[in-house]
């Protein structure tokens, strides 16, 4: 599911217009500065993002090593309790910004950009993560899906895209609320599927057992054939 509940038939309809946030819900500083921080640092360790980078169910970026370390040591902070295992994370394929130089403290440049439009991932431009892992700008999605024949395909790798699993990256305000609701619905749906699967297995097992008073084919043989060979009566005349 995505920011719109995962019911859109194509990627373009997935991109919905929400009220722009004037201030990041995860920082008290200005939106631009907060956006650059989210796109340049691991949301858990606060260290610079380094490959391999992963995306959490809510859409935030992490250094995989940092999450793995916390999961193994069972030291994941309570605010990230929704991350239960590595299965909850998926690779985030980010496109480096050639103009970015980590050695310079230039707030105007950011480490990543859209591979289609070149738009900087600075917290101002909206980006989404497709089910294939590629992270692209909303504008790129709109351009790629302007033709009905190209819908539900990644504009970078052309792989089929699961619209229900498209996520807004670094969501704020209404997008973050929608992401939380979508995660809850996904997990409720998964729990219901597991419950149904267990019921079907239980029903199958019970149907294979003989009912009360029912004799299976094995025990329908004659009593003589069920006797040990040495106890069977000898035929007359032998």
Average pLDDT, the chain: 78
Say if residue 103 is exposed, middle or buried (CB neighbours under 10 Å; 0-12, 13-18, 19+).
Answer: exposed
Q: Among 48-57, 175-184, 199-208, which is the least confidently predicted range?
A: 199-208
Task: Provide mean pLDDT across the span 112-127.
Answer: 94
Q: What are 126-135's pLDDT values in tens digits?
A: 999 999 999 9
Q: What are 37-54's pLDDT values in tens digits?
A: 899 999 999 999 999 999
Residue 35: how many other CB atoms lie within 10 Å: 23
48 strand-pairing partners: 41
CA 104 – CA 111 distance, rounded (Å): 12
Three-state DSSP state, 136: strand
- pLDDT of 151: 59
- pLDDT of 102: 79
Mention every residue, 6+ apart, whose C-beta is less than 8 A from residue 116: 136, 137, 140, 143, 144, 155, 156
Task: Provide mean pLDDT across the span 210-226.
Answer: 55
CA 165 – CA 183 distance, rounded (Å): 10
Bigger pLDDT: 165 or 82? 82
Q: What are 19-31's pLDDT values in tens digits?
A: 343 333 344 345 5
Bigger pLDDT: 85 or 109? 85
- pLDDT of 230: 60
pLDDT band at 171 (very low <50, low <70, confident <90, very high): very high
CA 169 – CA 119 distance, rounded (Å): 14
Q: What are 144-157's pLDDT values in tens digits?
A: 766 555 557 899 99
CA distances from 171 to 139, 142, 214, 227 (A): 16, 18, 61, 75
Enter the pTM of the model: 0.69
- pLDDT of 7: 36
């Amino acid at each position: 599911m995505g920011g719109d509940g995962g019911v859109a038939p194509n990627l373009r309809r997935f991109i919905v217009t929400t009220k722009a946030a004037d201030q990041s819900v995860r920082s008290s500083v200005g939106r631009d500065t907060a956006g650059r921080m989210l796109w340049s640092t691991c949301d858990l360790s606060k260290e610079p993002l380094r490959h391999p980078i992963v995306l959490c169910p809510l859409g935030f970026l992490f250094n995989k090593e940092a999450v793995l370390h916390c999961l193994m040591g069972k030291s994941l902070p309570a605010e990230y309790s929704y991350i239960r295992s590595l299965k909850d994370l998926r690779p985030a394929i980010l496109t480096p910004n050639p103009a970015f130089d980590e050695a310079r403290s230039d707030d105007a440049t950011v480490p990543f950009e859209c591979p289609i439009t070149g738009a900087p991932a600075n917290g101002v431009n909206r980006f989404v993560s497709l089910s294939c892992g590629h992270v692209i700008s909303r504008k790129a999605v709109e351009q790629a899906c302007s033709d009905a024949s190209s819908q539900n395909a990644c504009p970078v790798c052309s792989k089929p895209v699961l619209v229900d699993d498209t996520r807004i990256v670094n969501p704020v305000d209404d997008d973050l609320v929608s992401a939380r609701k979508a995660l809850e619905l996904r997990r409720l749906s998964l729990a219901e599927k597991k419950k149904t699967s267990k019921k079907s297995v239980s029903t199958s097992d019970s149907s294979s057992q003989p009912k009360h008073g029912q004799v299976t084919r094995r025990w329908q043989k004659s009593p003589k054939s069920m006797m040990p060979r040495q106890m069977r009566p000898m035929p007359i005349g032998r």
